[in-house]
Chain A
């Protein structure tokens, strides 16, 4: 079973920032926080991952609390194409299998 907790759904207006929370209170010291998303009828897509420092790439930013028990994925300027299910996953570095939970369904509206 997935060890992370995410809201079932969220709404966001196009052009605004989307902030998706995730709780991972049982994360261990060597586990990273990974975010993937799945657009309807497509395979999951990697977004970003981090250990304890905040991370940013061309897709999103990841903010991890100091105690590492929660994190927030930020899409700075959401577009309609960002409508998808977003999954927050704990996984070890290098290689580890992914356990997908139910994720958060983000709906971006005009």
Chain B
């Protein structure tokens, strides 16, 4: 199993550009998450999904969008990138409502200039 994979590893965007961060998992997990991590601030939840076709906002959803058309994939879309979106983005997954452990992808470091 590859676990949770993310692409790209690094990206530099200009203000106003858009991009999609890719996340995939091959563990047949129902729940998937997107977090951002700023220095000294822990992990902030952006969006999450409890299954294909179902998504919901987390703590910091503004400026982002998600979709979940399959169990495996959970892309995060940034529209009109802003410097405040400079961060490290982690995707995570967990098996079901009755399990607690989340497994994380390797992260995407995004810089918006």
Do A and B come together as binding partners?
no
> B interface vs A, CB < 8 Å?
none
